């Protein structure tokens, strides 16, 4: 059975624009894969390579681009780095599904060019798979798309190959269909609140901010994965399609309009009580603590025929991907990677999420404290090859953190009184443990001698 993908018609115009200029262009295919259908949402040209360290997270902020004349001159690391940045902007359930190319060469017939295509896709797959929380978990299969438009004939060809399987040369035909009407998406909004305290334990080898955040991310992942999702306050059957839920909500006498757009569904995640408790309880001497608090805004867009199970996976993935993106960006912006600052209290605010329009849905970007929406325009232009205005950026999905209680704290005097030293915290933990152990000892003694006490009491009562 031939694989079929559906794409908005403006993607064809996008390809023809570059093909008419007879320029070599390589970019990313972005979309969503569900059991019902595979939808492409956007094609994003990869920026021209620049004279910076391609392994760094800031490699897209530089000067002096180097023009690449054909596919053989493309850097695999540069394309993979582009895919990393773009994936951060994708909501849960959407992925980089492959690459597109406009060129005058036949990339499928020439073995040198086809070998380069496989190298680019495999390198990108390997790079993204390193961080499972941010980039991985691609659904259904490891097949990636290759879309090619000839600058000479304007003929469009799409095929797929499997990545991450060694020297596999299997290539399959793909039926690429352009849809004239804009694809309708079902939006699901979720606000997930975090309010957790994590201990900081510095070992002999030390611990960095990145290491500590990785531990927090692993803990958050386990909690979110164990949670139960309610849609509009109700627990739904995982096999049911989203469009069926929409039909059930509509009144029977309502008139269907072509201009009707599905309203957003509200999603709530609840963690079962037994899963919120730690597996083991340990008494450790801590060097400090991290109070992780705030609300993560999640907006996921799903194909209406997608199932509830697929939607659940997308929402959970969106929250984790957003956390992983913020942690990485925050750590890269730090001057000092030392986890324990000289101050008793250190307040840090990771970047907040904003939404940017792409076609009939929204992707996201992240702004650091003090940054204006204009900063998002640069990211959208550079990474997505789109022109939007400052008014298009939705900045109120998350509000800046309230730092009033930290600003009012006198770090010179009151913080010394309010914060226990690591030794004091350790003593408190041990004392709590000893009290509990004494309580258990008393109860066990009482149970052990209960029968003897009962016999003595019965004898006294009989004599009286």
- Per-residue pLDDT 10s for the chain (464 aa) are 789 999 999 999 999 999 998 889 999 999 999 999 999 999 999 999 876 544 444 455 445 455 677 899 999 999 999 999 999 999 999 999 999 999 999 999 999 999 999 999 999 999 998 888 887 677 778 899 999 999 999 999 999 999 987 666 689 999 999 999 888 999 999 999 988 888 877 766 666 778 888 888 998 999 999 999 999 999 999 999 999 988 877 665 555 544 444 579 999 999 887 655 555 656 667 777 888 888 899 999 999 999 999 999 999 999 999 999 999 998 888 776 665 555 567 777 889 999 999 988 999 999 998 899 999 999 999 999 999 999 999 999 988 776 666 666 544 444 444 333 333 332 222 222 333 334 434 444 444 445 554 545 455 455 55
For residue 231, the number of C-alpha atoms closer than 13 Å in the C-beta half-sphere is: 26
Task: Write down the H helix ranges in 345-411.
Answer: 374-384, 404-407
pTM, whole model, 2 decimals?
Answer: 0.81
Q: What is the DSSP letter of 421?
A: P
Q: How far apart are the first and last CA of the chain?
A: 93
Q: Are residues 41 and 95 in contact, defined by beta-carbon separation less than 8 angstroms? A: no
What gap in Å lies between CA 286 and CA 291, rounded to an integer? 14
pLDDT at position 337 is 64
Q: Are residues 198 and 216 in contact, defined by beta-carbon separation less than 8 angstroms? A: yes
What gap in Å lies between CA 464 and CA 461, rounded to an integer? 5
pLDDT at position 170 is 80
Inter-helix orientation angle 242-249/308-333, to 10°: 110
What is the C-alpha radius of gyration for the chain, rounded to an integer number of angstroms?
28
pLDDT at position 114 is 93
pLDDT at position 61 is 47
Strands (E), 184-341: 186-200, 228-231, 265-270, 288-302
pLDDT at position 131 is 85
Exposure string of 152-184, with b = 16+ CB inside 10 Å and e = fewer, is: eeeebebbbbbbeeeeeeeeeebebeeeeeebe
- CA 311-92-228 angle, to 5 degrees, is 45
Which element (helix H / strand E) includes 111? helix 111-129
Phi and psi at 211, nearest 5°, equal: -65, -45
> Nearest-CA neighbor of 102 among 130, 71, 57, 145?
71
Q: What is the DSSP letter of 394?
A: B
Inter-helix orientation angle 76-89/374-384, to 10°: 130
């Amino acid at each position: 059975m031939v694989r079929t993908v559906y794409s908005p018609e403006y993607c064809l115009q996008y390809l023809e624009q570059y093909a008419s200029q007879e320029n070599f262009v390589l970019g990313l295919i972005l979309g969503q894969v569900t059991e019902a259908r595979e939808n492409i949402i956007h094609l994003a040209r990869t920026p021209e390579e620049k004279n910076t360290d391609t392994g760094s997270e800031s490699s897209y902020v530089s000067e002096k681009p180097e023009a690449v004349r054909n596919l053989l001159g493309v850097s695999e690391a540069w394309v993979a780095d582009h895919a990393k940045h773009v994936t951060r902007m994708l909501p849960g359930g959407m992925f980089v599904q492959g690459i597109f190319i406009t060129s005058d060469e036949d990339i499928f017939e020439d073995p040198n060019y086809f070998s380069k295509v496989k190298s680019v896709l495999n390198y990108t797959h390997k790079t993204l798979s390193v961080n499972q929380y941010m980039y991985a978990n691609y659904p259904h299969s490891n097949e990636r798309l290759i879309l090619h438009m000839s600058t000479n004939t304007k003929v469009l060809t799409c095929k797929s190959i499997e990545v991450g399987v060694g020297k596999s040369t299997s290539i399959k035909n793909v039926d690429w269909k352009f849809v004239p009407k804009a694809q309708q998406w079902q939006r699901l909004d979720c606000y997930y609140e975090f309010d957790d305290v994590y201990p900081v334990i510095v070992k002999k080898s030390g611990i960095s901010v990145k290491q500590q955040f990785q531990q927090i991310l692993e803990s958050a992942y386990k909690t979110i994965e164990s949670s139960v999702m309610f849609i509009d306050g109700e627990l739904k059957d995982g096999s049911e399609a989203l469009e069926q839920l929409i039909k059930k909500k509509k009144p029977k006498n309502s008139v269907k309009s072509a201009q009707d757009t599905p309203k957003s569904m509200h999603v709530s995640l609840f963690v079962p009580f037994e899963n919120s408790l730690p597996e083991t309880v340990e008494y450790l001497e801590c060097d400090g603590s991290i109070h992780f608090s705030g609300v993560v805004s999640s907006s996921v867009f799903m194909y209406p025929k997608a199932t509830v199970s697929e939607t659940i996976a997308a929402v959970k993935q969106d929250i984790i991907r957003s956390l992983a993106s913020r942690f990485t960006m925050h750590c890269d912006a730090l001057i000092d990677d030392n986890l324990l600052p000289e101050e008793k209290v250190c307040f840090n605010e990771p970047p907040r999420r904003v939404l940017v329009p792409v076609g009939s849905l929204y992707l996201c970007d992240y702004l650091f404290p003090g940054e204006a929406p204009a900063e998002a325009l640069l990211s959208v232009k550079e990474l997505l090859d789109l022109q939007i205005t400052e008014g298009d950026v939705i900045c109120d999905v998350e509000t800046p953190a309230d730092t009033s209680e930290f600003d009012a704290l006198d770090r010179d005097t009151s913080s010394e009184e309010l914060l226990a030293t690591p030794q004091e915290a350790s003593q408190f933990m041990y004392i709590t443990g000893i009290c509990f152990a004494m309580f258990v000892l008393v109860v066990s003694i009482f149970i052990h001698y209960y029968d003897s006490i009962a016999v003595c009491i019965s004898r006294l009562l009989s004599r009286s």
